[in-house]
Structure 1
Amino acid sequence: MIEVAAFTVGPVQENSYLVRQQGAESAVIFDPGDEAERLLGAIDQLGVRLDAILLTHTHFDHVGAVAPLARATGAPVWCPALEREVMLDVMRYVPWPGFGPFENHDPEHLVSGGESISLAGLDFDVIFTPGHSPGHVTWSLPAEQAIFSGDVLFQGSIGRTDLPFGDHQTLLRSIAGLLDALPDETVVHPGHMGITTLGTERATNPFLQDLVA
């Protein structure tokens, strides 16, 4: 069984997740978007070693605290391969004024989807889910029936596609792939808003009606 601590951070109210096996001494963190000191405090309070920083995509609200967390903990960063360039020049890709400044970080590992990766005693499958961003991935824990889906699927909504390189039809295909591949009981830990399940979204999400018709 996993323990998931959720932290809503930054002005865009992004969800970052600190995940470990129950009672384990090591953990991973997903999408540390802001408030690095708060996240580091939570890691210290739990008394865990951070084994990896896992990114679903590289929009600024999901990566703003990556560099300070990596520096403070020594944890390597796993980044979508198609979006590595963003991490090398984060501020260049911030679409609006008033955010940041955010530090760059050259990720130690790249993923493209299709990988099976074991970190902190957790066995992940990496699923390519583009549409919101070109290299977006979803991190799945099949044994736990849980996914960390970034900005693909939300409680009652879906990721926006009006940002650079977004594509609505591609996003819908990615969501359809998740619905086809994973059971309805799968718990969805999204990048914004509340936790849900694939079954709930299949049944009630108005943006998915055409997919499930």
Structure 2
Amino acid sequence: MEARWLTVGPVQENTWIARQDGSESCLLIDPGDEPQTLLNALEELNTTPAAILITHCHFDHVGAVKAMAEATKAPVYCPEGEVFILENINDFVRFPGFGPFESYTPEHTVKDGDTLTLAGFTIDVIGTPGHSPDHVTYSIPQEKAIFSGDVLFQGSIGRTDLPGCDHDTLMRSIQKLLDTLPDDTGVLPGHMDPTTLGQERRSNPFLRELV
């Protein structure tokens, strides 16, 4: 798999472009901002999204969804419990100075246990709530990689001080990832640099209670 991340917007969110090596079809994960930057990257790679995947609907992860969906004609896959957020995004921007953003109604919804076949990948949808009410993680087992949104970071975890967040729920979600996926699984997160589950199991101070 070839995976590129572009850090966009004032919150420095990672939007991911993932494809089979050299493929003209790709996945676009969490287009959060700067649609022209994302379109330029797709053009540079000579690839077109087969789908836009959303891990959760905080504004920094979906701010460019409408623009990218309209520009690429790619269908949007959204966690079913957060569709109402995407459809009314400006009602859920909790901080002054951000937005306005464009709402969007997704073509598809996803939930824990779903399996998707897109852009040559078989993708398992894993429910990982806690940072948001219906957050999901997209796992590609044959690549030993997960697009983890804001569940787990290098040396940190997703914040749980926002409406709809819950620390205990987040920790159970992280425990599920650690229990069901191998340590060499690459974690491709929504902020900061990539890591692996094993590295975080060994060194992430926030996971000591789980270990």
TM bracket, shorter-chain basis: over 0.9
Map of 1:21 onto structure 2: 20
Q: CA deviation at 1:50?
A: 1.2
Counterpart for residue 152 of structure 2 = 153
Question: Helix, strand or coil: the match of 1:211?
Answer: coil
CA-based RMSD of the aligned residues comes to: 0.5
1:104 corresponds to: 103
What displacement does 1:46 show? Answer: 1.1
Q: Which position in structure 2 is the counterpart of 1:45?
A: 44
| SS in structure 1 at match of 2:49 | strand
User: 1:10 — aligned with what?
Assistant: 9
Residue 194 (structure 2) aligns with? 195
Gaps of 5+ in 1: none
Alignment of 1:73-88 (within 5 A): 73-88=72-87
Percentage of identical aligned residues = 60
1:14 Cα deviation (Å)?
0.4
How much has 1:55 moved relative to structure 2? Answer: 0.4
**Could you report, residue by residue, the CA deviation over 1:52-90 in whole angstroms, capped at 9, with x for unpaired residues?**
100000000000000000000100000000000011111
**One-letter amino acid of the counterpart of residue 133, structure 2:** P
Residues 97-120 of structure 1, C-alpha deviations (whole Å, 9 max, x = no match): 111111011000001110111101
- C-alpha distance in 2 between matches for 1:45 and 1:125: 28
- How far is the alpha carbon of 1:49 from its aligned partner? 1.8
The CA distance in 1 between the partners of 2:143 and 2:51, in whole Å, is: 19
CA deviation after TM superposition for structure 1 residue 44, in Å: 1.1
Partner SS state of residue 8, structure 1: strand
Q: Any idea what SS the aligned residue of 1:79 has?
A: strand
Deviates more, 1:165-174 or 1:38-47: 38-47
**Cα distance in structure 1, aligned partners of 2:196 and 2:17:** 19
Q: May I ask how many residue pairs the two structures share in their alignment?
A: 211
Instruction: Find the counterpart in structure 2 of residue 207 from structure 1.
Output: 206
TM-score where L is the length of structure 1: 0.98
Point out 4+ residue stretches in structure 1 off by more than 6 angstroms.
none
Question: Which residue does 1:178 correspond to in 2?
Answer: 177
The Cα offsets for residues 148-191 of structure 1, whole Å up to 9 and x where unpaired, read as 00000000000000000100000000000000000000000011
In 1: Cα distance, 2:73 partner to 2:99 partner: 22
Superposition map of 1:48-59 within 5 A = 48-59=47-58
TM-score (norm 2): 0.99
1:202 Cα deviation from its structure 2 partner = 0.1
> What is the alpha-carbon distance in structure 2 between the residues aligned to residue 14 and residue 196 of structure 1?
16
